[in-house]
Chain A
Amino acid sequence: MTITQPEFDAGHDVPSLGDEPSRSPRWLKRAGFGLVNVWLCYHLFAIVIAPASVAPSSRVEQRGWEFAAPYLQLMYLNHGFHFFSPEPGGSTLVSYVLEFDDGSTKTGRFPNRQIWPRLMYHRHFMLSEFLGGQSPERQQVLVRSYARNLLRENKAKRVTVSRVTHYLASMERIRAGGSLNDPDSFEEEPLGTFTWDAL
Chain B
Amino acid sequence: MGRVVRTAVSWLTARVCRVAAAWEQFWFTPADPIVLGVMRILVGGMLLYTHIVWGTNLPAFFSERGWMSPALMDVFQRGELIFSFWWYVPEAWHVTAHGVCLCVICLFWLGLWTRVTSILSLIISISYSYRAQFANYGLDQVNTILTFYLAIGPSGATLSIDRLIQRYRTARQSLSVGATPNFERTPCVSTGLATRLTQIHFCVIYFYAGTAKLQGAAWWSGDAMWRAFANSEYQSTDMTWLVWYPWIVNWMTHVTILWELSFSATIWNRTLRPFVLLMGVCMHFGIGAFMGMWTFGLIMTFGYLAFVPPEIMQRALSCLHRHKVVVRRLNVAESRDVRRAAWRLAFDGANHVRIVFGVKDVAVGETAELKIDDQLMASLMANSAEETATKVSASVRLVATPVNGHKRNGHSPTIPVNSRLNLAEERPVEMDRAKLARPIARPITLREETKVGTAIGTEPQPTIPVAKAIAMRPLSRRCVLCLERDAAIQLRLFRYFTSRGFRCLLAVEIADAIEQACDSYPDAILVMGTQLNDGEIESFHAQCKDAECNAPIVYVLQADQRQRIGNWLESDHTAILDAAPSLGETRRLIEQMLAHNKRGHPAEMSL
Interface residues of A (CB under 8 A from B): 1-10, 12-13, 15-21, 36, 40, 43-44, 47-48, 51-52, 54, 56, 69-70, 73-77, 79-91, 93, 111, 117-127, 130, 138, 141-142, 144-146, 148-149, 152-153, 166, 168-169, 171, 174-175, 179-181
Whether the pair B65, A148 counts as a contact (CB closer than 8 A) is yes
Whether the pair A19, B215 counts as a contact (CB closer than 8 A) is no
Contact with A along B51-90 (1 / 0, CB 8 A): 0010011011100011111011001100011110000000
Q: Which A residues are in CB contact (< 8 Å) with B232?
A: 91, 166, 180-181
Within 8 Å by CB of B500, from A21, A119, A168, lies A21
Q: How many A-B residue pairs have CB under 8 A?
A: 241
Q: Which B residues are in CB contact (< 8 Å) with A74?
A: 81-83
When C-beta atoms are compared, the residue in chain A nearest to B249 turns out to be: A171
Whether the pair A127, B189 counts as a contact (CB closer than 8 A) is no
B30 within 8 A of A: yes
Interface residues of B (CB under 8 A from A): 27-28, 30, 49-50, 53, 56-57, 59-61, 65-69, 71-72, 75-76, 80-83, 125-126, 129-130, 132, 134-139, 141, 144-145, 148, 154, 157, 185-186, 188-190, 193, 197, 200-201, 204-205, 208-209, 212-213, 215-219, 223-224, 226-228, 230-236, 240, 243-244, 246, 249, 292-295, 489, 492, 495-496, 499-501, 575-586, 589, 592
Q: Which B residues are in CB contact (< 8 Å) with A90?
A: 231
Within 8 Å by CB of B243, from A13, A145, A174, lies A174
**Minimal beta-carbon separation of B518 from chain A (angstroms):** 25
Whether the pair A16, B499 counts as a contact (CB closer than 8 A) is yes
With A13-B492, A88-B224, A145-B72 as given contacts, are A130 and B157 in contact (CB-CB < 8 Å)? no
Q: 16 pairs across A/B with beta carbons < 8 Å?
A: A1-B589, A3-B589, A15-B499, A18-B188, A18-B190, A51-B204, A70-B81, A88-B224, A91-B234, A122-B137, A122-B295, A126-B136, A144-B72, A145-B68, A148-B65, A171-B223
**Minimal beta-carbon separation of B152 from chain A (angstroms):** 10
Within 8 Å by CB of A47, from B201, B293, B586, lies B201
Whether the pair A19, B186 counts as a contact (CB closer than 8 A) is yes
Whether the pair B584, A19 counts as a contact (CB closer than 8 A) is no
Q: Which B residues are in CB contact (< 8 Å) with A80?
A: 208, 212
Whether the pair B205, A81 counts as a contact (CB closer than 8 A) is yes
Whether the pair A88, B228 counts as a contact (CB closer than 8 A) is yes
With A1-B576, A88-B218, A120-B57 as given contacts, are A171 and B243 in contact (CB-CB < 8 Å)? yes
Whether the pair B53, A47 counts as a contact (CB closer than 8 A) is no
When C-beta atoms are compared, the residue in chain B nearest to A48 turns out to be: B204
Whether the pair A85, B230 counts as a contact (CB closer than 8 A) is no
Q: Which A residues are in CB contact (< 8 Å) with B592?
A: 1
Whether the pair B189, A9 counts as a contact (CB closer than 8 A) is no
Whether the pair A15, B579 counts as a contact (CB closer than 8 A) is no
Q: Which A residues are in CB contact (< 8 Å) with B135?
A: 123-124, 126-127
**Minimal beta-carbon separation of A10 from chain B (angstroms):** 8
Q: Which A residues are in CB contact (< 8 Å) with B129?
A: 76
Whether the pair B126, A47 counts as a contact (CB closer than 8 A) is no
Q: Which A residues are in CB contact (< 8 Å) with B49?
A: 119
Whether the pair A9, B583 counts as a contact (CB closer than 8 A) is yes
In the bound complex, what is the Cα–Cα distance between A155 and B231 (angstroms)?
32
Whether the pair B585, A87 counts as a contact (CB closer than 8 A) is no
Whether the pair B582, A86 counts as a contact (CB closer than 8 A) is no
Q: Which B residues are in CB contact (< 8 Å) with A148?
A: 65-66, 69
5 tightest A-B CB contacts, nearest first: A87-B216, A86-B216, A51-B208, A6-B580, A85-B212
Q: Could you tell me the dominant secondary structure of chain B's interface residues?
A: helix
Whether the pair A118, B292 counts as a contact (CB closer than 8 A) is yes
Q: Which B residues are in CB contact (< 8 Å) with A1?
A: 575-577, 589, 592
**Minimal beta-carbon separation of B338 from chain A (angstroms):** 25
With A81-B208, A117-B53, A122-B137 as given contacts, are A5 and B240 in contact (CB-CB < 8 Å)? no
Within 8 Å by CB of B231, from A51, A88, A152, A153, lies A88
Q: Which B residues are in CB contact (< 8 Å) with A121?
A: 292
With A149-B66, A149-B67, A166-B233 as given contacts, are A89 and B495 in contact (CB-CB < 8 Å)? no
**Minimal beta-carbon separation of B268 from chain A (angstroms):** 16
In the bound complex, what is the Cα–Cα distance between A60 and B116 (angstroms)?
38
When C-beta atoms are compared, the residue in chain B nearest to A83 turns out to be: B209
Whether the pair B61, A54 counts as a contact (CB closer than 8 A) is no
Q: Which B residues are in CB contact (< 8 Å) with A8?
A: 489, 492, 580, 582-583
Q: Which B residues are in CB contact (< 8 Å) with A181?
A: 232
Within 8 Å by CB of A13, from B69, B293, B496, lies B496
Whether the pair A73, B81 counts as a contact (CB closer than 8 A) is yes
**Minimal beta-carbon separation of A196 from chain B (angstroms):** 10
Q: Which A residues are in CB contact (< 8 Å) with B132?
A: 123
In the bound complex, what is the Cα–Cα distance between A148 and B68 (angstroms)?
9
With A146-B67, A149-B66 as given contacts, are A138 and B201 in contact (CB-CB < 8 Å)? no
**Minimal beta-carbon separation of B376 from chain A (angstroms):** 26
Within 8 Å by CB of A3, from B27, B190, B585, lies B585
Whether the pair A145, B71 counts as a contact (CB closer than 8 A) is yes
With A123-B61, A180-B230 as given contacts, are A81 and B235 in contact (CB-CB < 8 Å)? no
In the bound complex, what is the Cα–Cα distance between A124 and B132 (angstroms)?
11
In the bound complex, what is the Cα–Cα distance between A30 and B190 (angstroms)?
16
Whether the pair B81, A82 counts as a contact (CB closer than 8 A) is no
**Minimal beta-carbon separation of A199 from chain B (angstroms):** 9
Q: Which A residues are in CB contact (< 8 Å) with B200?
A: 44, 47
Whether the pair A12, B81 counts as a contact (CB closer than 8 A) is no
Whether the pair B227, A168 counts as a contact (CB closer than 8 A) is yes
In the bound complex, what is the Cα–Cα distance between A5 and B59 (angstroms)?
70
Q: Which A residues are in CB contact (< 8 Å) with B228?
A: 84, 88
Whether the pair A149, B60 counts as a contact (CB closer than 8 A) is yes
Q: Which A residues are in CB contact (< 8 Å) with B193?
A: 36, 40
When C-beta atoms are compared, the residue in chain A nearest to B138 turns out to be: A83
In the bound complex, what is the Cα–Cα distance between A130 and B135 (angstroms)?
8
Q: Which A residues are in CB contact (< 8 Å) with B190?
A: 17-18
Whether the pair B244, A175 counts as a contact (CB closer than 8 A) is yes
When C-beta atoms are compared, the residue in chain A nearest to B142 turns out to be: A79
When C-beta atoms are compared, the residue in chain B nearest to A1 turns out to be: B575
Whether the pair B246, A149 counts as a contact (CB closer than 8 A) is no
